[in-house]
Structure 1
Amino acid sequence: MLVYGDTGVGKSSLVKYAAEDESLASLTIECLSSKSYSELIEDGIRKLVEVREIKKTTSLSAGAEVEASGKVPFLLTLKGKLQGKVGRESEFEVINKPPLDVLLEAMQIANKKLIIFDNFQNITSESDRLLIAQTLEFLADRSASTGDIKAVVIGIAEDASSLLGGSGSFQRRTTEVGVPRMPDDEIAEILNRGFSKLGIGISPAIISKLVFYSDGFPYFGHLLGLQVARAVRREGSIFAAESMVETALARAVRDVDKSYNDRTRRAFEAGGEVQPRRRILEILSMSDKREWRSADVIAAYEDRFEKRADYAFLHTSLAQLTDVKHGAILSRSGTRNSYIYRFSDPQMRPYLRLTAFGK
């Protein structure tokens, strides 16, 4: 299975709760750009086995079911203790087996039924990405011999093919699940239900404001709701007043990734009358769109600020907002004269709403 979508929309939580509902004990492997496929598999093994001894041997005659094209496969010899509840550890030893086979054997003994490769977008090596795709194919084809162990790949992407790619045979063996941002009415329902359980009264206008700042991200919805509830309790009240909300928003900003502050500082001009980069980010942060062409930005600029005879300065500023020097706030795709701009990190928009432009 492939699970994809924006950062912070609840992909990992969805898989976690779905596994719990199906009583599937899972093993999560965090994907890091610094680690190869074999190192990721070893990470999984070490989560299950208290390793005492491990060594690798290369072999030209015996290879794993899953291996990188053109690479010499290696085999593992491992001695250790299978981790479990206190007093229930058991010895675990394998000799000259491919790493994936070792992992699957340990999972079967530990009664784990699901491998989760989380944050897969961090894997940039094409060969390692291919190996993950081959692993999913292998598990789909060998369910009887593996004890029907399943695999889920979770990552930030606009679609499944850009997340993992792979052959047509791989795509036929997987289920693709796109996780969109949460609709405004669902964010509002979560907030209303939470405040109701706490016995806190809150007006529809304030709920609408919190929904706007959340921008479809459950993380921001929960964060803002928590801070408002705390502000109400500090005041000894049972009703959320507007002044309490402003205090809660300020506290919520401090809980957000500190790197956002550095990036926006680099993006904004230090001075000047027009400050086009700041104006562009104000337009985009307050918009209900998720992507923009240059013409969209120009039209919004005219509505919000002023009409100009020449908009070369806006094109230049849009390009600057995609480079690291200016915080890489935006990303762009397409070809010259038809670029499409998006926030490089979708959570930057709710951050800008909370800090610079939303009040």
Structure 2
Amino acid sequence: MDVWGGDQQDQKPRLVRGFFIGKNMPLNSLDKHAFGKLLSSTVYPAQPIHSIENLFGREKELDRIEKALFAGGRHVFIYGDRGVGKSSLAATAANQYQSSDAEYIDVSCSPDTTLASLIANIAYKATQTSRLTKSTLKSSIEANFRFLKAIISEESSAKDLSNEIKTTADAISVLIEAAEIHSENPIVVIDEFDRISCEHERNLFADLIKQIGDKRINIKIIFTGVAKTLDSLLGAHQSAIRQLETIELPKLSWDARWAIVINAARKFEITVDHEMLVRIAAVSDGYPYYVHLITEKLLWRVYESPAETKEVSWDHYHLAIKDSIQSISAELKRPYELAINQRTSDFEEVLWATADSEWIHRYVKDMYSSYEHIAKSLEPKQILDYKKFSTRIRSLKNSSHGEILIPDEHKKGMYSYKEKMLRGYVRMQAEANGIELIGDKTETKPKQQAHATVKSSSGYHQPKIPDGVTFKRSRSNNHED
């Protein structure tokens, strides 16, 4: 039985000036409700993607997951920085694997999650799914169950079941029963595994997945977690590694970023300019969330235009950037506001300079080169000298300034963002103020294809800028640390 369904969409987006986007549904012919509904099924800034046709730039990872799930006793662990699309990849892969007789099981972790509470939640969701479609099966096998009998009879809850799970062996027994009830090919997504605060509880999962394989239980698990390395999630219990296909998810490649915009615009039969695709790709910093958010706001602006149009204007774009900034969570806004609300008024330009590169880690001298260009492009004002600029950069390590940067442990004068996703927000703020931040191409010279990464997402820079993309300036770095 082929549980993976259709093939991945093979259309490869091309970056061309005035890209014409298809002939499906004219934007201005829709009422507001119809437009909003179609838009919500096209871009996903607020929830994971579940369908393969809306997931761009993850073909290789999906192929790895597919092959891993076919292997007996193998599960998947997707990890990387926050916001790179781990939940979307997990949801899409699970949706492809799960047999058609049920929906896949999706559970999320929290700081107080335990092995017992998580397994109980999986079991409860499995029986809820089955309650809708398998009442005959349940009544015939209920007597053979030890743990789920009460839940099937609607006399118990996940909280009650959690108290009954005392050991890993109990957890295994619950999973056996849940898998039998749920579907032909059940799969579970355990999202945000890193949020489990107790290291002991996280370590219990290493033994759990080993026993799932040893006992040939018919259930697959996809974990997701924020981490720089898998060691930080699994700790000392590396015995689980051989049962896991571990996937470190990088940021989106440039062609995948604008493919999201092209796909959305195609559904509304509108045109997107070449330079605008480049700007969205650059500002998003490779985070799917930002691409989807900007695209959503952009299409709303086009829809609400007083005159009918089939072309996205730069006015639409700049308004969409401001709309996106307003929609971003306070968690990302707060560090930025702390950094710029200082006694001196030059911290915002300094902060923009830190985000002006494709490199994850940057030397202060390179940031200063960016700063000089930014400061000169604004209204005449006094430009900080290199020493004062360096002092500002060091201040961005402090809690009073948002704790935005962290120094490299091994290379003096080199910094990176503490929260990698914040850099995209900084780029949006600069864009809204008329400052275009795009990494200098001279800094990204490795000769690879446009979709390739030079290092992992925890390395020194993100996917390289594709051939054919040019920027309005080049910079030289003449300053010494």
> Which TM-score band (shorter chain)?
0.7 to 0.9
- More strand per residue: 1
In 2: Cα distance, 1:172 partner to 1:259 partner: 36
Report the Cα distance in structure 1 between the residues aligned to 2:366 and 2:233, rounded to whole angstroms: 28
Mapped pair 1:169 → 2:239: yes
1:157 corresponds in structure 2 to 227
- Deviation of 1:32 (Å): 0.7
Contact 1:140 / 1:150 at 8 angstroms: preserved in 2? no
Q: Which has the higher contact order (CA 8 A, sep 6+)?
A: 2
1:54-69 correspondence runs (5 A): none
CA distance in structure 2 between the partners assigned to 1:38 and 1:199 by the alignment: 50
C-alpha distance 357-193 of structure 1, shift in aligned 2 (>3 A): closer
Contact residue 140 and residue 173 of structure 1 kept, 8 A: yes
Report the secondary structure of 2:132's partner residue.
coil
Q: Distance in 2 between matches of 1:159 and 1:200?
A: 42
The alpha-carbon distance between structure 1 residues 123 and 300, as it changes in their structure 2 partners (threshold 3 A), is same
Which residue matches 1:353?
A: 427
- Name the SS of the counterpart of 1:102 in structure 2: helix
Q: Residue in 2 aligned with 1:19?
A: 94
Paired residues of 1:3 and 1:160 also in contact (CA < 8 A): no
C-alpha distance in 1 between matches for 2:385 and 2:395:
20
State the partner residue of 1:251. Answer: 323
Give the equivalent residue in structure 2 for 1:330.
Answer: 405
* C-alpha separation in 2, matches of 1:232 and 1:34: 44
| Shift of residue 109, structure 1, vs aligned partner | 1.4
Partner of 1:31: 109
Contact 2:130 2:181 in 1 (8 A): no
The amino acid of 1:347's aligned partner reads: M
What letter is aligned with 1:189?
Answer: A
1:329–1:344 Cα contact (<8 Å) kept:
yes
Q: Deviations over 1:307-333 (max 9, x none)?
A: 74746x735x44543343332323445
Residue type of the alignment partner of 1:260: L
2:132 to 78, 85, 103: 85
Report how many aligned residue pairs link the two structures. 320
Runs (5+) with no aligned partner, structure 2: 1-75, 148-163, 376-382, 435-481
CA distance in 2, matches of 1:88, 1:302: 70
In structure 1, which of residues 139, 143, 159 is the aligned counterpart of residue 212 of structure 2? 139
Map residues 1-359 of structure 1 onto 2, 5 A cutoff: 1-24=76-99, 25-49=103-127, 83-85=130-132, 88=135, 90=138, 94=146, 98-111=170-183, 113-143=186-216, 146-147=217-218, 149-235=219-305, 236-272=308-344, 275=346, 277-294=347-364, 296-297=366-367, 300-301=370-371, 308=385, 310=387, 314-315=390-391, 317-332=392-407, 334=409, 338=412, 341-356=415-430, 359=434
- TM-score of the aligned structures, taking structure 1 as reference length: 0.78
Amino acid aligned to 2:426: L
Aligned mates of 2:193, 2:78 — CA distance in 1:
10
Change (3 A) 1:345 1:207: same
CA contact (8 A) 1:200 1:229 kept: no
Alignment partners' CA distance in 2, 1:223 and 1:332: 30
Gaps of 5+ in 1: 51-81
- Cα deviation for residue 200 of structure 1 reads 0.7
> Which secondary structure does the structure 2 equivalent of 1:286 belong to?
coil
**1:295 Cα deviation from its structure 2 partner:** 5.2
3-state DSSP class of the match of 1:84? helix
> C-alpha displacement at 1:304, in angstroms?
5.6
AA at the equivalent of 1:264: Y
* Offset of residue 35 of structure 1: 2.3
Counterpart residue number, 1:53: none
SS in 1 for 2:110: coil
Residue type of the partner of 1:239? E
Deviations 1:84-143 (A, max 9, x none): 216828465526762342243123212262222211121232211211222222222222
Using the TM superposition, give the Cα deviation of residue 204 of structure 1 relative to its aligned residue in structure 2, in angstroms: 0.6
Letter in 1 for 2:214: D
Deviates more, 1:344-353 or 1:237-246: 344-353
- Looking at structure 2, the residues matched to 319 and 121 of structure 1 have their Cα atoms a distance apart, in angstroms, of 29
Q: Is the 8 A contact 1:253 1:351 kept in 2?
A: yes
CA displacement at 1:291 relative to structure 2: 1.8
Q: Provide the C-alpha distance between the structure 2 equivalents of 1:186 and 1:338, rounded to a whole number of angstroms.
A: 34
Q: Which moved more, 1:298-307 or 1:246-255?
A: 298-307
